[in-house]
Amino acid sequence: MRAPFPIRAVQVDGGSEFMSDFEEACERLGVKLFVLPPRSPKLNGHVERMQRTFRDEFYTRPLPSQIPELQRELDAYLDHYNRRRPHRALGGLAPLEYLARIRGEAVPTESQMC
């Protein structure tokens, strides 16, 4: 996954999939890891909402059975989600538009992503 800024920290819900390899990768990359306490979805509300949106918009359509094709479709959806899809919480802007506005910059191009 690429971002328009360096990733310095990651917040996770503490599921078992994050307890070994992911933790080691974060440490190796110098990414600070914040683990939320069990049964605390309100502490992760934005992520919970994004997962609902993905479930409603991406996972409800027919998806390819092969990983490379599925990855291409997911990449295209994430590009749409971050560059073009309006978000009510961001005043109708897409996330990268909102980020550019608060920074006083242009929306980052793909080549400007980290």
pLDDT tens, position by position, 2-23: 788 899 999 888 777 667 888 8
Task: For the beta carbon of residue 104, count every other beta carbon within 10 angstroms.
Answer: 6
Residue 63 lies in a domain: yes
Per DSSP, the three-state class of 93 is strand
Residues 65 and 16 in one domain: no
pLDDT tens, position by position, 56-95: 999 999 999 999 999 999 999 999 999 999 999 999 999 9
Tell me the H-state helices in the chain.
Answer: 21-29, 45-57, 67-83, 95-103
Residue 44 lies in a domain: no
Q: Which helix (H) or strand (E) holds 34?
A: strand 32-35
Cα separation, 100 vs 93, in Å, equals: 10
pLDDT of residue 101: 94
Residues 77 and 100 in one domain: yes
Residue 81 lies in a domain: yes
Residues 81 and 58 in one domain: yes
Cα separation, 20 vs 35, in Å, equals: 13
Residue 1 lies in a domain: no
Residue 2 lies in a domain: no
59: containing domain: 51-109
* Number of domains present in the structure of the chain: 2
- The one-letter amino acid code at 91 reads G
Task: For the beta carbon of residue 82, count every other beta carbon within 10 angstroms.
Answer: 21
